[in-house]
Amino acid sequence: MRVINLGVRAYSINQEYAVLRRLGPALAPDLVLLFFYLNDFELVDVHRRWERFKHLDWYTFDLGAKPAGDVMRWWTIRQIARTSALINWAHDAWFAWTARDDFEEAALRGHLDQRMIDDVHEYLVRFVALADELNTRFTIVVVPHAAQIRREFPQNRYQRTITEMAGRLRTSVIDPLPVFRRDYAEHKRWPVIPFDGHYDAAGQRLLATGVLEHLATEWPEPRCPARRRGA
pLDDT digits (tens, 9 = 90+) for 110-163: 888 899 999 999 999 999 999 999 999 999 999 999 889 988 888 888 999 999
Residue 59 scores a pLDDT above 70: no
Task: Name the residue among 150, 214, 224 with its Cα closest to residue 182.
Answer: 150
pLDDT digits (tens, 9 = 90+) for 184-196: 999 998 898 766 6
Backbone φ, ψ for residue 88 (5° rounding): -65, -40
pLDDT digits (tens, 9 = 90+) for 13-32: 998 999 999 999 999 999 99
Q: Quick check: 152 and 222 in contact, CB under 8 A?
A: no
Q: Considering just the CA atoms, what is the radius of gyration of the chain in Å?
A: 20
**Largest alpha-carbon pair distance within the chain?**
59
User: Domain ranges in the chain?
Assistant: 13-218
pLDDT digits (tens, 9 = 90+) for 64-92: 555 567 767 776 777 677 667 677 677 66
Residue 210 scores a pLDDT above 80: yes
Q: Tell me how crowded residue 11 is: count the other CB atoms within 10 A of its CB.
A: 16
Supply angle C-alpha 191, 87, 39, rounded to 5: 50
Its CATH architecture, for the domain 13-218, is: 3-Layer(aba) Sandwich (3.40)
- Which residues are CB-contacts of 205 (< 8 A; sequence separation ≥ 6)? none
C-alpha 147/C-alpha 145 separation (Å) is 5
Supply angle C-alpha 191, 196, 50, rounded to 5: 130
